[in-house]
Amino acid sequence: MNTPWIGQAVTSQSKSNLALSFFCLPREQKWAMTVFYAFCRVIDDIADSTELSLLEKKEGIVFWKKEIERIYVSVPSSPLGKELREVVLKWKLPQEILQDIILGVEMDITKSRYKTFEELSLYCYRVAGAVGLISIEIFGCRHSCSKEYALALGTAFQLTNILRDVSKDSSYGRIYFPLDELDEHGISEQELLTQKWSPKIREFFRFQYLRAKHYFAKSSKLIHPSDRPKLLAAEIMSSVYRAILEKIRTKQFNVFHHSIRLTKLQKLVSILRVLGKNFWGPKNPTAFVPPKKIVILGGGFAGLSAAFELNSRGHDVVVLEAKSMLGGRAGSFKVPQVGETIDTGQHVMMGCYDHTLELVEKLGIGSKLFWIDPIKIVFLSHNGSSVLSAGQLPAPFHLLVGLLNYKSLSVADWIKAFSFLFSIFIADKPFEKETADQWLKRKHQSSSLIRSLWEPLCIAALNLPLNESSALLFYRVVRKTLLGKRKDLSLILCRIGLGELFTKECERLLKMCGSRILFKSSVCSLEFENNYLKAVKTTDGKTYSADCFISALPWHTLGSLLPEESLLKKKCQSIKQSPILSLYFWVDRPLTNEPILGFLDSPVQWLFSRNLFMDSSILSFPLYSYVAVISAPPKDILAMSSKEIEKMVWREVNQLIPGSKEARFCQSFLFKAMGATPKFDPESLKHRSSPTTSWNNFFLAGDWTDTGLPATIEGAILSGKTAAQYADAFPLIAQSPPLLVEEKAT
């Protein structure tokens, strides 16, 4: 073995993150990687040179193509070529992969645009994936998954490089982002080349970051236990590159105006993290859970949450959605009469929706939300108005201020309310079979407290009156909303159609990472075999097989697909539903300056002033848009016609807002959501299902599953995330099946 003078000199001068990891390699492997990396560095410098002409660059590439050929058939002419020949012969490195690396560098000279990610993927393979394939040969990896690992990690590395080096590449006139994706975000080539920073650039870079994270996660799952010790250097490289990617995120993706370089300390932390995990972390020599093919039934919020979580963990996902749009029960559509987008019921989120807000932050869609922070709700009754408004003080004093200023409560009510809240604080739980009404009365809550505080909270959170609601579930609601942090009590409304809150971004990300959402794919049957779900069939005659399945279908839809003898089917059939009526109406003048009004002692519980929080682009000016909400309406109201409900609502509005009598009622639209939420009374609460089923590879998501929360957006998001975590941990028993098998439609 010759001393690699040339290779060592080139590698030492590069100060590369890749070369940083060679210290942990045995002597011979370190020598080989040093020489190989020097080869990569030399040909890369040809393409990036500012001194060589285009002709000289092409001549340099031709020289190295022939030099690689000479390594295999004769004697190389360059000192570095001679050193590389020793490495090639010792580790039996394939010539075509070395030539692929040169072809990748040649693309830097001859190609400066990529129309699609498919085109870019070829470039990523040549300049990074092929480097990984050579590296694992030198490392001595033998398992077939290590090749997939090298390709996934190479893609992650190169996507990180592309995002980090936008400014540098722009100076060469190169754009490495797919042009069709730039076009989808409304970004011109000139905006990148001139480094014109804007919110749409930030969001575009965010999705490039999320795609890189997907490939990092996929690579981690492809490390087979038998090859793990040999991949220590590769994992150190991975840790450093992940740190670079996260630094881009901490700079709000503004790579135009921030230098994205790790300090020596940050690099050291990344290295020590891997070394610590390698030497002191948990060791399970048989643990191997590679990326899976997973089918999700249903594209509502629970299904999208599961898809996002699985994508971030490196899996391949197919979402089957029966409709032509995503969102499920939280959908939106346009009313033709006024041309305005409305929701399938007005939803209110809260600051305690931790999982929902985490997803909002990751997708960068915070601008779609309207916050009422601190909480402020004006309650109207025939006795006048009263404002429930929390102060700016930290918890729990914000609640103290809010209740003390709430005129509907007396001093005696305040004392009883705080005594009740203290009992919840010390975890004095209600009885399992108790209704919320029974629990409150047992806790000596007055009728005025129940009327003006607990009943509105219960009907809003559980879509049931106190005398029907589960006390245990209401206990969790009170504890999470009133006894949490100050921001937990904030109210959050959607500024756009609720169906568009997550859908566009989730669909875009899944597509970018190679997953799919298939619309008008209604599941008609499930095929079970030996405690496993083997396949699902759709009404268009297609059969989908996968490693795992997640149902994010409503309980009644899933129940209709399950075997008759199934315990889960019986549970689904035992869950009743609770309706919500939403009357959208339009008038010629504003009725209130408050985004939300609560109605006490009225069949209408809430009135939302959409003009005060919705984006103006979806409103029908010059009309003023409102929605009156009737949660869990009694049978007599359900039996009313749309016109009768319209008259009833307008009568209530006129009585509680006297100034509204001067307004002209222009148009209305009644949306009846008969299955708006599951009905969780004390009896049906026990029918909520866990994420797991009696079929090992079949998991459940949906706000009706046992999340410990009411059937809310937060419950749906949490359920999807939880089901995804179970599917992620599920061990494969065989090689992944093909994801889709076509059949003739019947």
Cα separation, 329 vs 582, in Å, equals 14
User: Does residue 285 form part of some domain?
Assistant: no
Q: What's the CATH code of the domain at 493?
A: 3.90.660.50
Do 337 and 481 lie in one domain? The reply is yes
Could you tell me if 365 and 442 lie in one domain?
Answer: yes
pLDDT in tens, 36-54: 999 999 999 999 888 999 9
Co-location of 186 and 257 in the same domain = yes
Provide the residue type at 57 as one letter: K
State pLDDT tens for residues 458-479. 999 999 999 999 999 999 999 9
Q: Are residues 223 and 305 in the same domain?
A: no
d(CA 12, CA 7): 8
* Residue 327 covered by a domain: no
Global pTM reads 0.93
Asked if 179 and 254 sit in the same domain, the reply is yes
Tell me the pLDDT band of 443, cut-offs 50, 70 and 90.
very high
Residue 278 pLDDT > 60, yes or no? yes
Residue-wise pLDDT for 178-228, tens only, equals: 999 999 999 999 999 999 999 999 999 999 999 999 999 999 999 999 999
The single-letter code of the amino acid at 235 is E
The neighbour count for residue 516, using CB atoms within 10 Å, is: 15
pLDDT tens-digit series, residues 470-522: 999 999 999 999 888 888 999 999 999 999 999 999 999 999 999 999 999 99
SS (H, E, C) 146-209: HHHHHHHHHHHHHHHHHHHCHHHHHHCCCCCCEHHHHHHCCCCHHHHHCCCCCHHHHHHHHHHH
Domain that holds residue 142: 111-279
How far apart are the C-alpha atoms of 300 and 332, rounded to whole Å? 12
383 and 304 inside one domain: no
Given strand 532-538, what is the order of strands in its sheet? 523-529, 532-538, 543-545, 740-741
Can you give the pLDDT at residue 392? 76
* Domain count across the chain: 4
Residues 731 and 719 in one domain: yes
Residues 6+ apart with CB under 8 A from 156: 212, 213, 215, 216, 218, 219, 238, 241
510 assigned to some structural domain: no
The whole-number average pLDDT for the span 133-160 is 96
pLDDT at 744: 43
H-only helix segments in 592-703: 635-638, 642-656
- The amino acid present at 732, given as its one-letter code, is L
Query: Do the domain assignments include residue 455?
Result: yes
**CA distances (Å), origin 583, targets 226, 608, 642:** 63, 10, 9
Average of per-residue pLDDT values in the chain: 92
Query: pLDDT-based confidence at 2, cuts 50/70/90?
Result: very low
Is the residue at 25 inside a domain?
A: yes
Q: Do 188 and 264 have their domain in common?
A: yes
Q: What value does the CA radius of gyration of the chain take, rounded to a whole number of Å? A: 31
Flag whether 304 is in a domain: yes
Residue 284 lies in a domain: no
State the helix-helix crossing angle for 354-363 and 503-512, rounded to 10 degrees: 60
The answer on 254 and 187 residing in a single domain is yes
Closest by alpha carbon to 717, among 294, 304, 343? 304
For residues 556 and 599, membership in a common domain is answered with: no
Tell me whether residue 287 is in a domain: no
Residue 270 CB-density burial (10 A; 0-12 exposed, 13-18 middle, 19+ buried): buried
Where residue 746 falls among pLDDT bands split at 50, 70, 90? very low
Instruction: Give the Cα separation of 606 and 584 in Å (integer).
Output: 12
Task: Give tens-digit pLDDT for 302-326.
Answer: 999 999 999 999 999 999 999 999 9
Which of 51, 75, 108 is the last residue in one of the domains?
108
Same domain membership, residue 626 and residue 733:
no
The CATH number of the domain holding residue 568 is 3.50.50.60
Q: What is the CATH number of the domain that holds 74?
A: 1.10.600.10
Are 100 and 32 found together in one domain?
Answer: yes
